[in-house]
Structure formats: structure tokens, C-alpha cells
Structure 1
Amino acid sequence: MKFTTQNPDKSLHLVSLGCTKNLVDSEVMLGKLKDYTLTDDTSNADVIIVNTCGFIDSAKEESINTILNLHDERKEESVLVMAGCLSERYKEDLQKELPEIDVFTGVGDYDRIDELVNAKRSNFTNDVFLANDTNDRVITGSNYHAYVKLSEGCNQACSFCAIPSFKGKLHSRTLESLEKEVKSLISQGFTDFSFVSQDSSSFLRDLGEKDGLEQLVSCVEKIEGIKTARILYLYPSTTTLSLIDKIADSNVFVNYFDMPLQHITPSMLKIMKRGKGVEKLIELMDHMKSKPNSFVRTTFIAGHPGETQEDFEALAKYIEEYKFDRANVFSYSDEEGTTASKSDAKVEQEIIDERADILGEIIAQTTQESLEKEIGQTFEVYVDGESDEHEYLLSARKTIWAPDIDGEIYINDNELVDEKGEQKQLEFGKIYTVKVTELIGDKLLATVIK
């Protein structure tokens, strides 16, 4: 049954937690509930949805706290919905322990959320929902950038990760489906795209194609109207030198290389089941770095079971020497059902935290060095809008950077003199060439040139 609101004045408050892949699913739900008016007033919203994250302990805690706080604030007759990964992963326990929730749903019913809300009914479909070109998504947060999900699920068996247990095996979308969605988004005015999935470099491998991402690059390049694109979440064992070359040779895809490494020593990569020899891994990373204007991002785990002091010191040395443009470090935490959680070689929590702090300090320094290299440079940016810092400062993002995670550039003027000598207001969502004048803290300051 198709649900449409009888009262167009009904309001919806949606919170999307976790990764950008969750955000795409949240945007699908917004599309199915587009007859509702979006509101920030949680005390008067008719429907409240929390799309939860179940990846690590801190994310689980945030999901539970968010939904309980919203329950405390909501009006009596509202509908409170818990959706997403955490809900899927612990569906039996949560339904017993959280009577406050009106509707539980997992990762398979995003495109049926209107029916579930209307019927005030919980449901967990066995199949994981796979985004497609027919979903009427409501893109949030930008008038020019959109995330596009390549696939769902993951075939990897990393020792520390529980995602395959509730997201299932890899299910790739077809190139035709992706092409249709991108063209639809372009027709709505979107020009910058980030392609995402749990394991993007395995795209189409479940359909018998080993060069799926290279095919994607070729396909997307032929679509008119795209200004820039990037791929997030490459996996070491399914990333090739030819893929890196394909991205670097593209006139649409920027030289953005995002590969979570997690570690760098042979023993730890074997324990973590990361499936790539150190020599090959370093070859890949060096190849990325060799590309013109490349930007390399990664993540690491500190204190995984079996990590010796020697392993840790080797990792710290590699991070210091490679000088990643951006990186994140996570403290290891046990995840139910994973091989790491059953290990007898656990590292003490105090040592885990100490190692994470040390790596965090190194990463902060290399990030700062990456930003300092930008001083005096001229490059293109997207102007997003007014900054939160000051009404006279505009917020911008280097075109190669991914939204929200790689930084913000302040522009201290909102007008530009064109070729005719006329003053013109800068348009949000458009590309401008800027010159960086200084770095204050972790923010670059720049002036528009053209």
C-alpha cells in the first residue's frame, strides 16, 4: 500500500548517524516521506526517525542515547522509529529492551518506511536494501554535491569488523542503474559526486567483473554535466595499480585516494585478515602519492589483539614518514561475532588508549603539514555558503576534498570583479579559483581570483 499523508501539515524529524552510506539510506526515507514537512522541533514532530549506526561501541552508544533523548522530548501521539544498522544487528534484544520505540526496522525496508510509519508496524526484511535509480531521494546538506551508493554488503572477512554479519555479502548495482541515477541527479542541478560503498574497489566482482571501478570511471566520464567526482573506501586487496592510473588519467574523477589501511606490518595484516602483502600495499600507496595533486586519506586501528610494541612502533614510523593528507585512528574495541573478539592476545585498554593518542598526535602533525603546503597555492574550490565562524566569511571546499571530512576554507570576500570590471556576488555551489593567503589553526584563508 502506498502511503500518502492526509494532512500535509504533518512534520518529520530525521537523524542520520554514522557513515555517508547511512546518509544515502536516510535520503531514500526522506523521499518516501516527502509529504511530511521537515522540522528541527522534536517536541512537536509527528514522526521521528533515527537511522542508527552499529559499527563500533561509541557509535552504538550515540545511537541509543540519541533515540532515548528524542523519546524524552517528543509529544505523546508521535511515532518514534529506530532504523538502520544497530536496529538490524540487535533486533531481538532492542525490541525487548526499548518499549519506548513504536517502529523497529533494519537495513532492508528503507523504501517501505512510509508503509511502516502509517501502519505503526515493525518489520525486518531478510534482504538488504540496495539503492536503485527509481528511488526518489531527497538530497540533504548541499545544492550541488550528492553521494551515490555503488553496492551493499561486503565479501571481506576482516577480523575486527561485524558489518558483513548484518549487511550480508556484496551486492553491486548495475552500471546502467548508476548511470541513470547520476543523470537524474544532474538534471536536478547536482555537479559533484562521491561514490561510496562498504568496499568500493570490489564493485561488480559479485557479477563476475574484476575491473568494475574502472568501468564506472569510463561510464561516468561520458555523462555530460559532471564537474568533479571521487571514490571513497577502497580496499587494499581489490585495488590495483591500473585503477589508480585510471582515476589519475580521468578528466572528471579527482586524484582522491581513500584507502583504510588499518595497519602496515606483515604479522598484523595477517591477524587482521587484510589480504595484501606489505610490499604490494606500500607499492599501491606510493603509486597513489606519485600522482599529480594527489590527496591520500586512510584509517588505522590501535591496539588490535596481537599488536606488539614492535608492530605499533613500525606503524607509527610509517604514518610519520608517509605523511598522509588526512587520517583517522580508532581504538580497538571488541565486536560480537568477530574473530578478533575471541582472541587470547588482547591488548590492555590503557595501552590501546596510549597508542591511539600517540598515533593521533602524529596524524595531527601530518595533517597540519598538508595544510601548510597549501599556503600561497592557487586552486579551485566549491563555495558552500556563509561560514559558522563569521557572517563576512564564506565557507568553501577544495574541489578534490570530500565534503565534511577533509576541511574547510574561509573566503574573506563574497564578491568578484568580472572581466567587464563589474562586482558580482559569489554563487553558492559554484567553482571559483582562489589563492590561499594564510593558515589559522586548521583553517585555510583564501581570496577569490576568478
Structure 2
Amino acid sequence: MKIGFISLGCSKNLVDSERIMGMLRQGGHEFVADPKEAEAILINTCGFINPAKEEGINTILEMAEYKNGHCKKLIVLGCLAQRYKQDLIDEIPEIDRVVSISEYPKLNEILSEVLEIEPLVSYGKSERLVSSKPWTAYLKIAEGCSNNCTYCAIPLIRGGNVSFKMEDIVAEAKQLAANGVKELVLIAQDTTKYGLDRYGKLSLLTLLQQLHEIEGFHWIRILYMYPDEITDELLVGMTKLPKVLPYFDIPMQHGNDKMLKLMNRRGSVEDALKLVERIRELFPSPTLRTTNIVGFPHEGEAEFNDLMAFTKAVRWDRMGAFTYSPEEDTVAYDMDETVDEEIKEARLAALMETQEAISLANNQQHIGEVMEVLVEAQDGLVGNYRGRGKNSAPDEIDGWVIFKADRMIEFGSFVQVKITEARVHDLIGEEVYA
């Protein structure tokens, strides 16, 4: 069967999509990029915030148009399916099946029945079909989240934190390495909590030590590190694992203690400053990335000014920031003292202007440095190559290293680039040879 597959949302959702596609590929089915050619279309949706929900609904409605042609089946999966299953069934009759995340243990049976095909292997038992660049892959080490931040719907959708078995994670990683993956990116809603539920203790370092031994990986990157679980033991252990990059993605969400408590975030601003100081003490050139929410209920000028001061004190290398989006069924949804949308946008603009100046100054410190770069693309018009250094995560959430070379370079290769110019997000340079 020819199948069109659309994966929306975050990298964690992408891993789910790759597992589902692996099931279908092992069953002998073919994936097509053009929905006009598809006999069935599957959409893995995101349901985290309102813009993601809107994207999901719009995509479903767009794909429903193809039901009048070659396509006979339209199946919706993922977070939107988990959270709004009955609404989707009631409102969009073109959908043949809505599959919630809680049904994934029987996904092979469901898909076999709906698509009228031969039985499939169980979800997660087939080899993943990595759909991103072949030299980089995400590895999900846990599902769900137990932090219960007051603004977040993830526990409602995905449930509490469940760490995967370490031996299963290592086995999947070995398969990825055997298939040519050079950069492994660990993901979960909270990677630093890994193992606490399953082994009774924080076990991320133990996992990293096992992954580090796998031949083939050049870089191992960790995303979504909860600040109060970044222990000194973990930091010191990372210094002894050269494949593990000193890339610290620490979603703080705010820089004021009152706001952190309202968000149900553990730890304090002072704790975070001490953590940053310790990271910079242990690692010669770490990358510090964060995300912040602007305009959360009860955020006044004083609280926002504290966020600005915190940003200037830390001098993050990377920052993503968003205006608060109220999510139904969360604690914050019913909070009073909401912030006007115009004020939210003005504060967001001010925060990002401040961060851009910091990012530029931080990038300028790389001028003259010879940086290892993973080559990923080439500009067609001028022929410059694009790649990422240790300081940039995949999928364009961070900047590029754009460089000239006097030879053809295979994508997925590591090269040495001397940095000659810095911009807010990108670095400019030229390849150098040993």
C-alpha cells in the first residue's frame, strides 16, 4: 500500500512517527511524498499549545480533501488524538480512525484492521525508519512527565514520567549507529529525571556511559535538562565522556522566584545562577540554552524586570521565548491577573532584543576559533556549505556555521572551520586543514 505520512510537533513526536513508519515499512508498504499518490494518509498530531492544535486541524482538513481521489483511508494519531478524540470523531467525519496514544500497544492490530492489510509487528518492535538527516537521530529515553508545571498539558496527554529500560535504549542506539548515525540526541520531557521511576535513582549518567561505548557515534547531545536535577555527579561524569557535548538545554521558563512558584517549577533563580557558574567552571566552552515564558498570569513589571536581569546575568548562548498561551484543564488556565496580549508581545520583543545582543557578543568570542562542524547542506547560488558546531542542536533551533571550502564535501562529514565573522545566530568561516 502507498502511504502518506505527516508528522507534526516536537522531536519526541517524530520518534513516535519513525516507529510507526518502521512498522509499516517492515510490512512491505511504501511511503509517498505526494498525497495525491497515497492510498492512505496518516497524520501524527501535536496538541501542546493552541497554534499546534490549529496546525493539526488545518492539516487534517487539508488531507481530508484527498479522500475524494486515490486516498481511501485517513487516520489521525498523536497528542491531538489523545486529548480530543471524540471531538475529532464528531467534527471531521472524513477521518476513518482516531488513534490515541494510549492505544499504541495495540496499534499494529488497529492499523491492520483499518487499512485492511496483513498483520503488522507491534509498535516499537520494528527498526525505526529515521526520517531526518541520516547522520543525526533522536533517541527518546522516557515518555510523559511528572513535573506538573501549572501551564503544561503534557501530563494530561502523555501521562506521568515513565523511563524506558536502559537495555532497550542501548539496543536501539546500537541499531542507529549501525545505520550510520553519527550524532545521537537524547530527548524526553525531562531527560535528567531518567531512571528515577524505574531504578529508584537518577540514572542519566549511567546511560550516557553505556551510550558512549557504542562505536559510530561522534557526538551525543542531551536536550530538555531540568535545572534542579543537573547534579554535580552528572556534570563531573560528563567531563569524562568526550563524545557527550557540553550543550546544556535548560528550560528555565522565568527569572523570578514568584513566577517560578506559580508555574510549579522547582528551585530558585539563585540555584540556577550557581548551576551556571558550576557548568562554566567545569567546561571550557559550554553552550547554555534556555526557554522562557513571557506574560504568565501575575507577571508584573517587577517580575518581568527580574527576568531581564536574570537573562543579562546568565548571558545565555541561545534562548527561545514565547508569550503565555492558556491551556484548558491546566492549573494556570483558571488563574486571575492575566496579562494583556499587547503587553505580552512588548515584553517578548524587549526580552529577545536583549538576548540578541548577548547572542551576538557570545558569537563574536568564536572569531579566530577553529571549530569542528557537521556538514549538512550547501547553498546552491554561492556554493557555501552549512553545518553545525557542538553549540548548535539540529532542526534549525540554533544557528548555522556557514563556510567556504575549495573541495566537494560529503554531507554528514565532520570538518574543521576557522570562524572569521559572527552574526546573531550564525557563524561565518572557511575550511582549514590539519
The alignment's TM-score, normalised by the length of structure 1, stands at: 0.88
Of 253, 268, 273, which aligns to 2:264?
273
CA shift in 2, pair 1:36/1:391, >3 Å? farther
1:150 match: 141
1:15 match: 6
Q: More deviation in 374-383 or 19-28? A: 374-383
Equivalent residues in 2 for 1:37-116 (5 A)?
Answer: 37-73=30-66, 75-78=68-71, 79-110=73-104, 113=107, 115-116=109-110
Q: Which amino acid aligns with 2:427?
A: L
- CA deviation vs aligned residue, 1:195-226 (integer Å, no higher than 9, x gap): 00011111011024323111112212222222
Q: CA deviation at 1:324?
A: 0.9
Of 294, 298, 306, which aligns to 1:306?
298
2:368 match: 376
Runs (5+) with no aligned partner, structure 1: 1-9, 123-129, 416-424
Determine the C-alpha separation between the residues in 1 that align with 2:293 and 2:142. 25
Are the equivalent residues in 2 in contact too, given 1:32–1:111 (CA < 8 A)?
Answer: no
Q: Which amino acid aligns with 2:44?
A: N
Report percent identity of matched pairs. 34
1:350 match: 342
CA shift in 2, pair 1:220/1:292, >3 Å? same
Determine the C-alpha separation between the residues in 2 that align with 1:196 and 1:65. 27
1:420 match: none
Q: Which runs of 4+ in 1 moved over 6 A?
A: none
CA shift in 2, pair 1:369/1:116, >3 Å? farther
Determine the C-alpha separation between the residues in 1 that align with 2:31 and 2:359. 37
1:446 paired with 2:429, answer yes
SS at match of 2:209: helix
Runs (5+) with no aligned partner, structure 2: 117-121
CA shift in 2, pair 1:232/1:241, >3 Å? same
1:6 match: none
CA shift in 2, pair 1:265/1:443, >3 Å? closer
1:125 match: none
Determine the C-alpha separation between the residues in 1 that align with 2:56 and 2:356. 27
1:322 match: 314
Are the equivalent residues in 1 in contact too, given 2:371–2:389 (CA < 8 A)?
Answer: yes
Of 321, 329, 333, which aligns to 2:325?
333
- CA deviation vs aligned residue, 1:84-108 (integer Å, no higher than 9, x gap): 1111011121211111212211224
Equivalent residues in 2 for 1:171-186 (5 A)?
Answer: 171-186=162-177
Determine the C-alpha separation between the residues in 1 that align with 2:133 and 2:106. 25
SS at match of 1:353: helix
Kindly report the root-mean-square deviation, in angstroms, between the aligned alpha carbons of the 2 structures.
2.2
Q: More deviation in 273-282 or 112-121? A: 112-121
1:366 paired with 2:358, answer yes
The alignment's TM-score, normalised by the length of structure 2, stands at: 0.91
Are the equivalent residues in 2 in contact too, given 1:288–1:296 (CA < 8 A)?
Answer: no
Q: CA deviation at 1:269?
A: 1.1
Q: Which amino acid aligns with 2:291?
A: T
1:204 paired with 2:195, answer yes
Determine the C-alpha separation between the residues in 2 that align with 1:110 and 1:148. 18
Q: CA deviation at 1:147?
A: 0.6
2:252 match: 261
Determine the C-alpha separation between the residues in 2 that align with 1:32 and 1:160. 34
Q: Which amino acid aligns with 1:39?
A: V
Q: Which amino acid aligns with 2:286?
A: S
How many residue pairs align between the two structures? 423
Q: Which amino acid aligns with 1:89?
A: R
Determine the C-alpha separation between the residues in 1 that align with 2:66 and 2:402. 36
2:119 match: none
Of 414, 420, 430, which aligns to 1:437?
420
* Larger relative helix fraction: 2
